[in-house]
Every structure is written in C-alpha cells, then in structure tokens.
Structure 1
Amino acid sequence: MTETLPMVVPEPGLPERVTIYEVGARDGLQNEAALVPTEVKAEFVRRLLAAGLPVVEATSFVHPKWVPQLADAAELMTGLTAELGDTARALPVLVPNERGLDRALELGLRHVAVFASATETFAAKNLNRTLDSQFAMFEPTITRALDAGLDVRGYVSMCFGDPWEGSVPLEQVVTAGRRLLDLGCHQLSLGDTIGVATAGHVRALVAAFEAAGVDRSRLALHFHDTYGQALTNVHAGLQAGVTTYDASAGGLGGCPYAKSATGNLATEDLVWFLTGLGIEHGVDLRAVVGTSVWMASHLGRPSPSAVVRALAESPA
C-alpha cells in the first residue's frame, strides 16, 4: 500500500519554500499540567531534529516560579550540548530578561528570543510591566545578546485579539513590533495567542507592517487553532508572502497566562497543507507523526492534531 500523502496541486503566486519554526518543546510543553522528565524533553528535541525540522526552539530560561514545567532548562541544554555540540548550541531558547540571557551565554547558546505583548493588560499579566515599559526591560537583554554575537528573535503576543481588551488595533501591533525590530531583533513572530485571527485580518496586519517599512521577510506568523482557523490563516499569510510559520508537534501548547488560548497549530497539519500545495519544507511527515504519538503516550492523552490522528491509524 502506498504511503498516505496529499496530491500535490500547486497554487500560483505562493512562496516556493517555507521555514517551519518548531515550538513544541518550549511553547508546547510549558503549558502542560504534569512535569515532563528532562530526558523525555531531550528525546523530543532529538526526534524533532531527526524529522528534518530546520529550527527547534528547545526551552525557556524563565523563573521556575512562573513556568515550573521549564525549570530544568539549564539541565536540558547542558545535556543536549554535551551530546549534539554545535547543533544544540544553535537551538533557540526564550530569555525573558538579562538573568535568562546570562544562563544562555554561560552555555554558549547562539540564538535567543524575547517575548513582548501588543496589549497593556497582557504586558501586566505576563511581564508585570506596562505596554511601554516592557521595551525598557528588553533593551539591555537584546543589546547584550547582539554584542555577544547572538541572533535575537522577537515574539509579540495578542496581535489579533486580547481576552481582556478585545480587538487590538493594527497600528498598536505594528508599533510594538517595530520597537522590537528597532532594538535589534532579526525576526518578528506575530502571535495569534487566543486563536481569533481570520484570513483578512492576517493579510491586513502583514500589509500594515509593510506600510510601516518592515519587509515581510522579517515576519513570522504564530497561529493557534482555537476556532479552527489556523490553516486558513496560514494560507492568507502565504498569499501575503510570509515564509516562516511557527508550529508545535502534535498541536501541543497554549498560553499559561491566557486560559482561552488552546493548542498551537500542529506541525503535522501544517506539513500536510504545505505538501499539498507543493511548497518545500524539508520535514518528514511520518517522522513527526511518530514523534507526536510517542510524546502523547508520555502525556497520557491523544494528540489533538487531525493529521496525527489520521496517519497514526493508517498503514504507511
């Protein structure tokens, strides 16, 4: 029997290749109720890399009081570095402040990310800062990282809607994103934290950034599938020329500070979608499905990914 894959029917005008930025090991696992053993996390990262994912964000050097699920960040990265060397040192990690950056520098890591908010309320809940003062906190972290030769990614959350404030004006999101880019972030990931984005909104936000002088090549899109719109929104992003998409193996994740945020866009669903459009991505779909099935067994529940469910039950 032939392997189950979609028929390839390219759509004119879309990018030829997309980068999948895998966030399952960090954004996915940080929202789990149960603590996942360090050795399981390490194997998760190894399997994701072996599946061909070009970028695997490994963990976050956040204070364990706030995200106890990632309290083993240093232990995880020390072990991966000892085993994988430069491959592990190239894995991105989230650093919320200078203390987090110190820990990343001590381990010789080369790619870090900071996490900002597009709204006042979420900045207060997630960072204990105002919308404006969060950037003063990020500035020394980003400056020191750049001085040390690191690449810095900027995340902006609540770009399409906020559970406390409702709709978020496009210009407010653009202002927040531009401030991170002006501080030196090489890429900006625009997060639909509670999954309320729709296709027209996606296109409008990308256009607003371009009108503000931000090339779409510097943008990434991070969708949640709360209302089943994630792949529709990816399609809108592709039409707008964005070529980097965050995704989480098996659809793991949410947001510990926004209870209405359900799972991230599943990596497998994204790979299936891109494959059908003939867009190159370099990822072995079966390998990622197997990894998500394996992780689901450790978490004690099935994956929410439709593609994982379909392929896990079908013969190769």
Structure 2
Amino acid sequence: MSAVILLGLVAVAAYKTKPDTPSFRKFITEESKTQSASPAKGWLNKITNAVTGVINLPDFKVTGWVKTDGTLSSSSSASSSSAHTAAQESRAEQEKEKAVRLKRDGKYAVAATTFLAAGRKYEQFGPYDAALCCEEAYKCFKQANDKSSAIDALHRSAILFNKDSRSTTRAARAYETLAENVRSTGDLTRSLEYYNTARDAFETAGDGRAKTILTNIADITLSLHNYTAARTHYETLAAESIDNSTLRFSVPKYLVNGVLCTVAEGDWVKAGKVLEGYGARYVAFGGSGEFGALKDLISAHDRFDADGFQKAYNDLNQSTLLPEQWKQVLLKVSDKLQNADVSFR
C-alpha cells in the first residue's frame, strides 16, 4: 500500500515539473541513492517541495545598508543623494552669482528675475538664503521702476524671513517696508495688514519698534473710518508715550484724535466724557490749549452756537495742526450749525 502511495506522489511530482526522460531517470537514480543513505526523509522532502513549488534558497546577508531618518537605504544611495543635493546647491549659488553680475552691469530687470530664480532653488535648503535673494530682487525691481513686481518680491522675502525662527526681526523690517510701499499705492487695507504683521513680529522679537509702527496703524485705521478701533490705538499710544521723554510731546495729538474719533461717530455727549477722562488722567493735557479748544468746541455744538463753534475750531487748528480728515468732519458740522439745521444731532 505504501508503495502505491509513493508511486502516486512521484507521478504528481512528474506532472508538476514535467521533466524530460533523461532528467527524470537521473532524478529516480539520485533519489535511490539518497533513499539508501537517508531512508524516506530525502524522498519526502523533495517530493513535497516539488508538489508545493517550494524552492530552497541559500542563506545570504544584506550588507552595505544604512539607516537614515527611520528608513533603510543603501550607503551608495545615500552617497548619491548627498551628491545630488550638493549639485543643486551649486546651481543655486551659480544663479545668484549670475544675478549679482547682472545687477553690477545695471541690467536690473533681468537681475531681479534671476535673483528670484536663485531664490526658488535655495528654498529647497531653507528659507533664509531664499529670502535674501527675493530681497535683492525687490531692490532690482525698484531700480527698474517696476513697483508692482518689487512689492511682490518683497512680500515673498518677508514670508520667507518669517519662516526662519532666527530672522524674526528681519521679517518685521521686511513687512514694515512692504506696508510702506503698499500704502503709497493707496491700498490702505492691505497696508494695514502688513503693518499689523510687522508689529506682531517686532513684539515677538522684543523690539521697541512695535510702538512706532502703532502710529501708522492708528492713522490708517482712522483713514479707513474705523473710528472705534482708531481711538483705541490712539489711547494706547498716549499711555505708552507719556513716560517717554522723547514721545511724550505727541500725547496731546493722540488724545485730540481720540476725542475727534468719538465726534466723528456723532456721539457728542460721549465725546465730552472722553475729553474729561483724558484731562483727569493726563494732568498736563487738562491744562493745555488743545483741551480748552476741544471743550469750547463741544460746548458750542451743544448750544447750537455756530460762531462759537467756528472760533473753537480755529483755536484747535492753531493748537495742533489738524489733518485734512478732521477738517472735513468739523467743517461739515460748522456748516450745519450755520444753516441752523439741528437735525444732524
């Protein structure tokens, strides 16, 4: 019975492997020798392997592999990657050197675009060198009188500096310059955004220039007719300036703006209360010409005294040079008083 089973297994093996006649004869001969040396074991292993398709492989070792960043890679692959990175850095450096030569030759527009190309190459290795290239592109675009492209390049530079934790102050300066450039185009909303970003960056770096930027933020906010926010900014400026020997002389101007922000909102009662609060908090301001002129202005308005209002307006404008925006607001009130139109109250 065992012989029959064994013969069947041999037949299956023959069917699976489909050996030719000589090889099958050799197989039987070798198996006979193996069987005599190791009964049954060799036969069963080889027949089983033939039936199941298992292939015996020699033992081997993997060599020349290194661990990088939690993954396995061959040392030759790591070396190749390092060489590739070095080549990319070299190309970025060459592009920058080309831009420098173009700038030196006075070809500012081409130099600017070349600096930008170098910046894109440097971005693969970190933001700082890329930011420097974009900053150079900004300068070249300005020389080429391409203001729009200059602003775009400076914006990119500011973003890249801001990505580098060691360049917070540099980022703040870039955003401040960007805000100034955008403000000159008349885009006050965008300029305000950049000034706020610059202020945040200066504060993060512990740089005192955050306070000086707030003046620009307050003035632009006022120009955008956001009177409540503007008044808050002017009050902050006054509080931060009162103890500074250099800045304290600007305090009356800030407080006048704070009162007039309330006037511009049409709330004259609140304007009177704000003025009295400023006078109590800042004693020097309470005895100033600006304080007296504002008090007379509010009083004349409440009495519907057009002549008194005009006189108070003139006194205020002499005490502190009013910006055009405030002149327009107060002259409208004066005209309504002159026409005895009290419906605006």
Higher helix share: 2
> Given the two structures, how large is their TM-score scaled by the length of structure 1?
0.25
> Given the two structures, how large is their TM-score scaled by the length of structure 2?
0.23
**Which is higher, the Rg of structure 1 or of structure 2?**
2
